[in-house]
Amino acid sequence: MKALPAVLLSCLLSTLLVGCGYQLRETATLSEHYRAIYVQNMNDGDPVYSALARYLRQSNARLVRAPTEASAFLVIERNEIHDRVAVVDPRATAREFELTQVMDFHVEFRDGRKLAPRTLTASRLYGYDSRTVLSSVGNEQQARNELADTMARLIYYRLAADPERELPAP
């Protein structure tokens, strides 16, 4: 008898969640155009490359090392990271830095068609304390890793958008 209120409460909460439209996040599906992607102008040691490879594996696509194996080409035109002081304390000491990554890219397909060029920008703040340099370096590295993951996710979502709507006729 004591379990009955708990069961009723969980049924009620489940009904409310379903009724409000809540759904678990699904992995985006990629078009067949992207079953094998070659990334031009970025090496496989770049953290964005590694994160993008992870996202693509989750959707049964893959990054290839040879252009001859590719069904699509992700052409990176610009990939820059800028670091600037974001917060200064009253003694003119930097306390926070901002990392900003800007990436320009476009996608080309084997038949010669191209998607319009895109620019992605993402930023992360990280704290800096001159008394604890090791932890501050760790903060910067964590911010760089998060930034790379964000950029890879943005590229992935861009690829997941329907390419047929944007492609010119062959």
Q: Domain of 129?
A: 27-165
In a domain, 65, yes or no: yes
- Residues of the chain with confidence (pLDDT) below 50: 23-24
Close Cβ partners of 92 (under 8 Å, ≥ 6 residues apart): none
Q: What is the pLDDT of residue 118?
A: 95
Does a structural domain hold residue 147? yes
Q: Confirm whether 92 is domain-assigned.
A: yes
Answer whether residue 10 is part of any domain: no
Measure the CA–CA gap between 28 and 153, rounded to whole angstroms. 11
Alpha-carbon distance of 52 to 20, in angstroms, equals 32
* Closest of 41, 50, 52 to residue 77, by C-alpha: 41
pLDDT of residue 88: 86
7 lies in some domain: no
For residues 85 and 170, what is the distance between their CA atoms, to the nearest angstrom? 48
CB 75 within 8 A of CB 37: no
- Token pair for residue 125? 């703040």
Report the number of distinct structural domains present in the chain: 1
In a domain, 146, yes or no: yes
Residue 74 lies in a domain: yes
* Share of the chain residues as helix, strand and coil, in percent rounded to the nearest 5: 40, 30, 30
pLDDT of residue 6: 63
pLDDT at 166: 64
Are 102 and 75 in contact by the 8 Å Cβ rule? The answer is no
Question: In this predicted structure, what is the pLDDT of residue 139?
Answer: 79
pLDDT tens digit string along 8-55? 566 556 666 555 555 445 556 788 889 999 999 999 899 999 999 999
Rounded to whole angstroms, how far apart are CA atoms 126 and 139? 6
pLDDT for 38 equals: 96
9 within some domain = no
For position 82, which CATH number holds? 3.30.160.150
